[in-house]
Amino acid sequence: MNTQTNLRPVAIVTGSSRGIGAAIAERLATDGHAVVINYAGRRDDAEALASRLTALGGEAIALQADVSDPHAVQRLFDATEARYGGVDVLVNNAGIMHLAPIAEVDDAVFDRLVAINLKGTFNGMREAARRLRDGGRIVNLSTSLVGTKLETYGVYAATKAAVETMTAILSKELRGRSITVNAVAPGPTATDLFLEGKAPELIDRMSRMNPLERLGTPADIAAVVSFLASSQGGWINGQVIRANGGMV
C-alpha cells in the first residue's frame, strides 16, 4: 500500500456506478482511499456517487472507460496517475450476466461476455501488474457459480473460472513486490444484475440455498474487498474467497 502518510491510498474500482461496485467504492472511500469510480455508460450514476462520497468527506472522481478496450484501460490508469500520482488498489468489478442454456447462446452474447468479464478483467490485471505501486492490491470479482455450476449460467461462470485461474497465476508472477492478488466470489446478492428477470419464487429459493437463509447484500461483499485491500489482508494472496453465506 502507499506508505506516504500524507496521502490517501488510491483505488480504481471498475464498473462501480451501481450495485456491488458502488458499495465497494463507498466502503473504500470510508476506509480512507481516494477512489476512482469507473463506468462504461452510466455517467450520471457515477458522478452522483462521486459527489456523495466527496460530500461525506471522502475523495472520489468518476472516470469513463470500457474495460474491454485495452487502450481505454490504459487511459484510465493514465488519468488516475495524473490526478493522484499513482495507483495502489485495483478492484476488477465490471461484468455482465446473460442467462441461457449453452445450446442457445449465440456468438454475439458469448463474445460480449468474454470481452467484458474475462478480457476486461485481464486488461485491468495486466495494467495493474505493470503500474501498481509496490505493496498494492488487486481484487478480482468472480462468482460462487464456479462451484455450484447451475444450469443457464454456463458461459458466465466459465468467464469467472478463467478469472480465478489468472488470479492465482498473477499472484505468483508478482513475487518480490508485496502485491497481493485475490478474488472474491459472491453468492446470490441483492443487486439489479441478480434480481432482473427472476420470479419471486426463484429469488426466495436461491436466498435459502445457504445456511443463513438470505441473499447477500452489496455491503457484505464490499466488506470482504475492504479486508483484502487493507494491511490486515496482506497475508492473503492467490486465493478465492467465496462470500456466499456458506452455500458451497
Which positions ≥6 away from 220 have C-beta within 8 Å?
Answer: 186, 189, 243
Question: So what's the pLDDT on residue 6?
Answer: 44
235, with CB counted inside 10 A (0-12, 13-18, 19+), is: exposed
Could you tell me if 11 and 3 are in contact, meaning their C-beta atoms sit under 8 angstroms apart?
A: no
Per-residue pLDDT of 154-171, as tens digits, reads: 999 999 999 999 999 999
Q: How confident is the model at residue 216 (pLDDT cuts 50, 70, 90)?
A: very high
Q: Is the pLDDT of residue 1 over 90?
A: no
| Average model confidence (pLDDT) across the chain | 95
Question: So what's the pLDDT on residue 193?
Answer: 73
Per-residue pLDDT of 24-59, as tens digits, reads: 999 999 999 999 999 999 999 999 999 999 999 999
Q: How confident is the model at residue 185 (pLDDT cuts 50, 70, 90)?
A: very high
Which positions ≥6 away from 141 have C-beta within 8 Å?
Answer: 20, 91, 92, 93, 95, 163, 183, 184, 185, 186
Indicate left, alpha or beta for 176 from its phi (over 0: left) and psi (-120 to 50: alpha): left
Query: Could you identify the residue written with the cell 443463513?
Result: 212
Q: Is the pLDDT of residue 5 over 60?
A: no
Per-residue pLDDT of 105-163, as tens digits, reads: 999 999 999 999 999 999 999 999 999 999 999 999 999 999 999 999 999 999 999 99
Q: Domain 10-187+220-241 maps to which CATH number in 3.90.640.10, 1.10.10.10, 3.40.50.720, 3.40.47.10?
A: 3.40.50.720
| Domain ranges for the chain | 10-187+220-241
Give catalytic residue positions: 156
Beta-bridge mates of residue 183 = 140, 240
Question: So what's the pLDDT on residue 194?
Answer: 80
Per-residue pLDDT of 51-60, as tens digits, reads: 999 999 999 9
d(CA 184, CA 157): 14
How would DSSP label each residue in 173-227?
HTTTTT-EEEEE---SB-SHHHHTT--HHHHHHHHTSSTT-S-B-HHHHHHHHHH
Q: How confident is the model at residue 192 (pLDDT cuts 50, 70, 90)?
A: confident
Per-residue pLDDT of 62-97, as tens digits, reads: 999 999 999 999 999 999 999 999 999 999 999 999
d(CA 85, CA 87): 7
Could you tell me if 224 and 184 are in contact, meaning their C-beta atoms sit under 8 angstroms apart?
A: yes
Question: So what's the pLDDT on residue 230?
Answer: 97
